[in-house]
């Protein structure tokens, strides 16, 4: 198992912890008031962790995968999101409030533990939409947490896609009753979805603008997140915008002009530019 020790700016400690969970850590411990140690499965690309987590890495080492109870459960308490959801790891046996829908999600290499602001923003946007008997497509499904939430909210059919095979495997484990495939939304028939979800990055959202509009029905909602307030997508216009910290979520209607024009369409979809 890979151990990474990082220097922590106290002003962004909570954000760093969220970023580490979203990067696939299997546990975090406090080394000192200004340092954290995060543990990752063998083979994790340190460069990928560095890209997502703006923190100084002090050292890395390899440790035996013999973790005490306190390590597994560190910083992994259930959290409530919005008015409808509680997110908890599969090992948590505590009760769930009657008015809450429980999403059981474990940390994997795939994005989406529910601890990052963008995931929470999308969950809150979803609970505000009438999803019962709707078809939902999650583009860049990561761990499958959004697909799981869509099923819990009563969506009749839920699909997800990701170009990362590890993400697809994780999503299939987490979101029972949803269907996932390795690939991108160019494989989806036109006018299929009542709700399209894309919690990725502004660059990829814009690259996929044609496809996201093409697969959405005329009266659909397109829910976008994964971007900072100062760097939003350029090809969408929100009918509603929400924010947590510096992160934003947009709820948009399909743009017929983008759905008809293939200008800017990008192929092939691969892990390098995604």
pLDDT bucket at 76, cuts 50 / 70 / 90: low
Higher pLDDT, 90 or 107: 90
**Contacts of residue 76, Cβ cutoff 8 Å, sequence gap at least 6:** 27, 89, 107
Mean pLDDT, residues 3-13: 79
Mean pLDDT over each residue of the chain, to the nearest integer: 83
Q: Give the CATH class of 2-69.
A: alpha beta
CATH (residue range 111-260): 3.40.50.150
* Weakest-pLDDT range from 49-53, 176-180, 216-220: 49-53
Q: Residue count of the chain, please give it.
A: 274
Structural contact between residues 165 and 190, judged by C-beta atoms closer than 8 angstroms: no
DSSP class per residue in 101-167: EEEE----SSS--S-SHHHHHHHHHHHTS--TT-EEEEES-TTSHHHHHHHHTT-SEEEEEES-HHH
The pLDDT of residue 4 is 83
Q: How far apart are CA 261 and CA 267, in angstroms?
A: 15
Domain boundaries, the chain: 2-69, 111-260
Q: Do domains 2-69 and 111-260 have the same CATH topology?
A: no
């Amino acid at each position: 198992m890979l151990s990474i020790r990082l220097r922590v700016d106290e002003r962004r400690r909570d954000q760093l912890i969220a970023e580490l969970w979203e990067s696939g850590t299997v546990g975090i411990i406090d080394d000192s008031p200004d340092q954290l140690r995060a543990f990752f499965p063998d083979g994790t690309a340190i460069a990928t962790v560095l890209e997502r987590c703006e923190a100084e890495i002090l050292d890395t080492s390899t440790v035996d995968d013999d973790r005490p109870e306190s390590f597994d459960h560190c910083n992994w308490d259930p959290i409530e999101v919005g008015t409808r959801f509680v997110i908890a790891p599969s090992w948590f046996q505590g009760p769930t409030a009657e008015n809450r829908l429980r999403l059981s999600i474990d940390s994997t290499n795939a994005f989406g533990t529910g601890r990052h602001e963008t995931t929470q923003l999308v969950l809150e946007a979803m609970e505000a939409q009438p999803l019962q008997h709707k078809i939902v497509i999650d583009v860049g499904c990561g761990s499958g947490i959004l697909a799981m939430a869509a099923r819990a909210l009563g969506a009749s059919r839920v699909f997800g896609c990701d170009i990362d095979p590890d993400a697809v495997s994780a999503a299939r484990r987490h979101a029972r009753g949803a269907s996932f495939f390795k690939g991108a939304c160019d494989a989806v028939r036109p006018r299929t979805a009542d709700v399209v979800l894309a919690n990725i990055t502004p660059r990829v959202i814009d690259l996929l603008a044609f496809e996201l509009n093409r697969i959405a029905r005329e009266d659909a909602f397109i829910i976008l997140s994964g971007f900072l307030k100062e760097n939003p997508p350029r090809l969408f216009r929100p009918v509603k915008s929400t924010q947590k910290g510096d992160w934003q979520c947009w709820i948009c209607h399909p743009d017929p002009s983008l759905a008809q024009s293939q200008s800017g369409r990008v192929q092939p979809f691969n892990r390098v530019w995604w």
